[in-house]
Amino acid sequence: MATGTHGLPSLWEIAKYWAGPGKGFCVDLSRPACAGCGCPVPNREGYPEFEDRWTDCGLHRGHLINACAGGPDVVENLVPLCPICNYNMPVFGQGELQAAVDWVLDGGWIQKAKITEQGLVLHGVLLIKFASQ
Ligand SMILES: [Zn+2]
């Protein structure tokens, strides 16, 4: 198996795993995107090979079972996440794989964002300001 930095499987290996049948994630191999919030990585179409679109594209390899809880560095335990989803992912321990998968499937960081009168707020930071009337 090809490995990337830190001995982890490459984003491409991870994407191919989750794009397989019955995995539940919407992974389009031609279009690198966060498995949580769906945020696409822009300007990757210039690479003819899909693998090159995923290589060093800026997505993180997020652990489902947290590495601190002994989550292994294997494709089954890693998902492509944007930095915001990876940062906001709760720590899931042993036996919580399905809960972790559900967190990703439910939209990642979007679950923690709140809509206020000012706009979209995450951890007290105004991410998107709504236009005032
Ligand atoms: Zn995301």
Ligand 1 centroid from CA 123, angstroms: 15
Ligand 1 centroid from CA 70, angstroms: 23
The two tokens of residue 107 are 């939209």
Residue 2 has pLDDT above 60, yes or no: no
Residue 16 has pLDDT above 90, yes or no: yes
Give, as one character, the DSSP assignment of residue 3.
B
Ligand 1 centroid from CA 118, angstroms: 22
Ligand 1 centroid from CA 109, angstroms: 6
Residue-wise DSSP of 59-99: -EEEESS-GGGT--SSGGGEEEE-HHHHHH-----TT-HHH
Ligand 1 centroid from CA 52, angstroms: 20
pLDDT tens for each residue of 89-121:
999 999 999 999 999 998 998 888 888 888 888
Q: pTM of the prediction? A: 0.82
Give the separation between CA 130 and CA 115, rounded to whole angstroms: 10
Ligand 1 centroid from CA 98, angstroms: 18
Residue 26: how many other CB atoms lie within 10 Å? 11
Give the largest Cα separation in the chain, rounded.
55
As a whole number, mean pLDDT of residues 64-80 equals 96
Ligand 1 centroid from CA 47, angstroms: 22
pLDDT tens for each residue of 75-91:
999 999 999 999 999 99
